[in-house]
Amino acid sequence: MTAAAGGGSSPGDHPESEHRSARTGRPVRTALTGGTLLWADGRLAPGTVVFANGVIQTIAAGEVPAGTDPTDAVRVDIVHDVTGRIVAPGFIDTHVHGGLGANFMAADAAAGTRISRWLAAGGVTACLATTASVEADRLHRTLAGLAALRGRLAGGLGIDLLGIHVEGPFLAPSHHGVHRQEHLRLPSAEAVDALLEAGDGAVQVVTLAPELPDGMDTVARLADAGVHPSLGHSGASFQQAKAAIGRGLDRATHLFNALPPIHHRAPGPVPALLTDPRVRCELIGDGVHVGPEMLRFAVDVAGWERLMLVSDGCDVAGLPPGRQQRWDGTEVEVTETASRTLDGTVAGSITRLGDALRTVVRDGGIALSDALRMASTVPAESLGLADRGRLTPGRMADIVVLDAELRVHTTYVRGEIVFDREEMGTTG
């Protein structure tokens, strides 16, 4: 990366977007030029993106962008040459538990810093902190701690923590995955209200099994509170899934995983979720949780517009291969591609959205422009966020720059560099 005027910034430097020109007093404008942009209409075409004060000012097809205001042509102060690279909206991971040995269950600044560092190196600019099934008091303490961490992690120099994804404890024991069965419990109005109160407005998504007693009423209660109910770790039938959608359920948690398989006489929840336009579905694109044929199948059925890539990344992601211990004491075997319990059960993912992008394009045959939007646009829209997820003027300058092999080169959050491979190494 080069800076043609004024030099570039590095993590820890004062943000370029906060500098002001000594001559004009206006915010310094930075341009990424020479690259291939993911335009808002899905085209991958040459262009320049200009940002200042953490916000995209304009994008244009040429190297010298026209101003957004015809009376004030954009004057660029700093130019980063990204020739041969792809410039896309920053990735938004709405289902991630941790990384580099840290788990969001710790709900403290140190864990947030480590996880931010790991995710930023994978092109992630924002995320939902995802919890696990624990006893009620501990869950409430965790939710309160995570609510206090909302905003920029890593002391204001990392990725954005948008809120919380509560995964459990209202899960089906028959589909618990690596959630501990002793911590699962039935939903109730009182339990939901206590959970939302502890989360202090930060809870965005709650994964639950709607077929449990009072599950349908819980779906409606969450939806009425402005929270997104998500079907997951569930044994729901096709009919029960449709009923839950009718009560306000609008998401599916890691589609295919911890759900009944599709059967021609007992279709289960997956066909209901994939075919209903009211639902957006998570997909873990690590190549382990879902086969490439099923990734392609999901896109063919639902279209990229209703599918979002998630990592389901766990705390042992980024740690060396071999025997490791998860946050709850569970021992797992980490390989180059997966984390599994000692009995062979897949225990979360060890990849990030940048890794998933390469996998779904290479192995799943998904078009690059679609995969990029599944990692950025769809997650933003699933949370009702209009300020990120596309490269358009007025949105946050959350940007990822990829090389020709689709490896993350640089990650910007609000116009600030939070990861640069040449300066920080491949894992941040």
Count of residues making up the chain: 428
Comparing C-alpha atoms, which of 228, 232, 287 is closest to residue 256? 232
CA atoms of 242 and 1, how far apart (whole Å):
50
C-alpha distance from residue 236 to each of 84, 243, 315, 348 (Å): 47, 10, 29, 22
Q: Following DSSP, what letter does each residue of 300-353 receive, concatenated?
A: HHH-GGGEEEE--B-TTTTSPSEEEE-TTS-EEEE-SS-EEETTS-B-SB---H
Q: What's the chain's Rg over C-alpha atoms?
A: 21
* CB count in 10 Å sphere of residue 66: 12
Task: Determine contact, residues 179/166, Cβ cutoff 8 Å.
Answer: no
Distance separating alpha carbons of residues 83 and 32, to the nearest angstrom: 9
Residue 206: what are its φ and ψ, rounded to 5°? -130, 120
Please state whether beta strands 86-89 and 399-402 pair in parallel, antiparallel, or not at all (unpaired): antiparallel
Tell me the catalytic residues: 312
Whether the CB-CB separation of 51 and 415 falls below 8 Å is answered with: yes
Count other C-beta atoms under 10 Å from residue 160's C-beta: 21
SS3 29: coil
Task: Report CA dihedral (399, 412, 410, 368) to the nearest 10 degrees.
Answer: -20
